[in-house]
Amino acid sequence: MPSGCRDVNDRRLTFVLVGVALLVTAWTTAAIGARASYGARTTGDEPHYLVTALSLAEDRDITVDDEIDEQAYLPFHEQRLWQQARPLPDGRLVEPHDPLLPVLLAVPVAVGGWVGGKLTLAMAAGGLASSLVWLAVRRFGVPLGVAALTVSAFSLAMPLSAYANQVYPELPAAFVVTVAIGALTGPLRRLGVAAWLVALVALPWLSVKYAPVALALAAVGGVLLWRRDAHRTLVTSVMVLVASGVAYLLAHQVMYGGWTVYAAGSHFVEGGQLSVMGYEANYPGRSIRLVGLLLDRRFGVAAWTPVYFLAVPALAALLRARPRGWAVLVLPLVAGWLNATFVAQTMHGWWSPGRQVVVVLPAVVLAVAWWVGRVRAAVWPVAALGVVGLVNWMWLAVEASSSRRTLVVDFFETADPLYRAWAWVLPDGGLGSAVDVAGFVVWSGLLLGLAVAGWRSVPSRASGRFDLTLDVHPRKEDTSCPPQQAASLV
């Protein structure tokens, strides 16, 4: 790219990146006071992550016996904490959650308590949004205005805004996936390979449930290195990943008494660690989550943030055009969505909507940004639907901050007129009635129509060969200076 053009674009890009990061951080920070339940400020797994962070800050270990005995959790969980952990053979009590999130929050919690922990997640949300804008512009050729609008539409609404306020590993995992996407869509030299490997190692340490996404990212990276004849780097990377996997398993045997953290959980004693996936799982029945994760009345991400509906035509267009980097978005997204559909025990859990898919939502955001950058008529639906999602989150956050509603217990009973005006037309997978099943069928047909529209909205890739890899080298036009690319939304 000519230096003068790059200087101008870099200045504008830097300004927008900082602005988006500050906007999203401030927006999500404003909701820190929102309560998870009426009886406790944090609930579910949140206080257990915070207790482990306190233990790391004060005792330099993950054993929480003394914190539980001293009720160190009372500032952020006003009731007696339900004990998730069972005493290990040596008498230790460790929370059945992977330790990387508590490690990341240890210093902020030590300095600022639970508020410090949530502020850290809010800043991570700002960093995630800024990173997505950069990737959309620099890796996928999206005009800067389109990238900023699209990323903001998703980042200022649920579930990304919600998990910037709740102490779960979902948002850090989404950030790690974004790092991996950035590495795999770049030149993949020494620094890129290092970033990719660090991301792969970090994901299971945030939670073992992210392993399928890590495997998908590992497969894409392996194919890329092979196609670029970087065989020595590929062999070294495999050795690093094997060594890190062995270290992970051995460390969990020492720390948790089993191959996963679930060995330390009191609710997995009878059924074993695999019971985290459910008892006598009805996998055909779980298939309804394929669309339920998107449009379920209470727990579907599009029910609260309708801009997620645009992921359907965007992904269809991405599959047809297959631009450079498409597989880095599609394969991890498929792995994460299938994991949330068939492996996760439930979609309707004690959490805010979208928890099981947050980790792969960066791929959704980038796919939509890429599509809108090429189908400019989609700018206005993104803006309009983004405002709906923003209002829905703002309304719920205000209600939860004033104790009229909560983020976990009864969020779906919100008085928000936008949500209530249309939620009744969405099916509820938790009820499983014949009407709801029929609703899923009807909505599946509508989603298919969106997919067809998306498929037709872009030209097919010139090559008829359908492969699951990336272009090895950027196309010639990717290296040019796009005239007025960042000047306007349309």
Q: What is the pLDDT of residues 356-390, one digit of tens each?
A: 999 999 999 999 999 999 998 999 999 999 999 99
Closest to 162 (Cα-Cα) out of 464, 388, 408, 434: 408
Reduced to 3 states, what is the DSSP secondary structure of residue 253? helix
pLDDT surpasses 70 at 463: no
Which comes out higher in pLDDT, residue 208 or 469? Answer: 208
- In this predicted model, what pLDDT tens digit does every residue of 174-222 receive, in sequence order? 999 999 999 999 999 999 999 999 999 999 999 999 999 999 999 999 9
Q: Can you tell me whether residue 87 is helix, strand or coil?
A: coil
From start to end of 360-459, where are the E strands? none
Q: What is the pLDDT of residues 419-445, one digit of tens each?
A: 999 999 999 988 778 898 899 999 999
Contact 105, 117 (CB under 8 A): yes
CB of 42 closer than 8 Å to CB of 3 = no
360 with 353: CB under 8 angstroms? Answer: no
| Nearest in space to 360 (alpha carbons), one of 177, 198, 183 | 177
CA distance 55 to 199: 25
pLDDT value, residue 22: 98
In whole angstroms, what is the distance from residue 387 CA to residue 384 CA?
5
Mean pLDDT of the chain: 89
Q: What pLDDT score does 480 carry? A: 34
Per-residue pLDDT, 84: 87
Q: How far apart are the first and last CA of the chain?
A: 23
Peptide bond into 459 cis (omega under 30): no
Tell me if 392 sits within 8 A of 305, measured CB to CB: yes
In which band, very low, low, confident or very high, does the pLDDT at 279 lie, cut at 50, 70 and 90?
Answer: low
How sure is the predictor about 298, in pLDDT bands with cuts at 50, 70 and 90? very high
Q: What is the mean pLDDT of residues 295-305?
A: 95
pLDDT tens column, 70-79: 999 999 999 8
Q: Residue 267 has what pLDDT?
A: 65
Contact criterion met (CB below 8 Å) for 454 and 312: yes
Asked if pLDDT for residue 52 goes beyond 90, the answer is: yes
269 vs 348, higher pLDDT: 348
